[in-house]
């Protein structure tokens, strides 16, 4: 799992995702670290990693790559307890809404960087505000979710 280590939101989210996945199934790597992308040359670029977290399968000859919400769903799918959630995440309308929300957060993630003391409260408010703005432009399903 390649993530933006310069972003506290990305560091926390990727660490949580690894904890939720089956132990040992997902290894996380800050893509800014020297040589982090070398094993994935031709598969993942720094621009890909800047846009969204990247999950690259390393157990096959072909390097399958998933990004954003698809990467999250695949990581969660390593545990049977999460498989229903993963299935729901891939339902077409839900998938579209989740992708819109992910893109909105990813584009503005650096605005959510706050001190440790107020990061959670201010970050949650900033995320909700930007999701609302983005959802109005991108997905009627996301608007409905945000209003609830």
Token digits for 53?
């977290």
115: pLDDT strictly greater than 50: no
Total residues belonging to the chain: 148
Q: What is the pLDDT of residue 24?
A: 92
The predicted pLDDT at position 84 comes to: 93
Cβ–Cβ under 8 Å, residues 13 and 52: no
How far is it, in rounded angstroms, from Cα 16 to Cα 20?
6
Burial of 93 (0-12, 13-18, 19+ CB in 10 A): exposed
pTM over 0.75: no
pLDDT tier, 62 (very low <50, low <70, confident <90, very high otherwise): low
What is the per-residue pLDDT for 3? 95
- Mean pLDDT rounded to a whole number for the chain: 82
Give pLDDT tens digits for 133-145.
555 555 565 555 5
């Amino acid at each position: 799992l390649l993530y933006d280590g310069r972003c506290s939101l990305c560091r926390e989210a990727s660490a949580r995702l690894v904890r939720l996945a089956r132990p040992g199934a997902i290894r996380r790597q800050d893509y800014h670290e020297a040589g982090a992308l070398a094993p994935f040359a031709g598969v993942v670029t720094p621009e890909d990693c800047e846009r969204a977290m990247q999950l690259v399968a390393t157990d096959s000859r072909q390097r399958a790559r998933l990004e954003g919400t698809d990467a999250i769903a695949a990581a969660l799918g390593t545990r049977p307890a999460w498989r229903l959630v993963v299935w729901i995440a891939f339902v077409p309308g839900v998938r579209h809404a989740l992708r819109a929300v992910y893109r909105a957060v990813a584009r503005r993630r650096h605005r959510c960087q706050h001190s440790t003391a107020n990061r959670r409260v201010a970050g949650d408010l900033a995320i909700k505000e930007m999701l609302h703005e983005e959802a109005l432009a991108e997905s009627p399903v996301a608007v409905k979710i945000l209003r609830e």
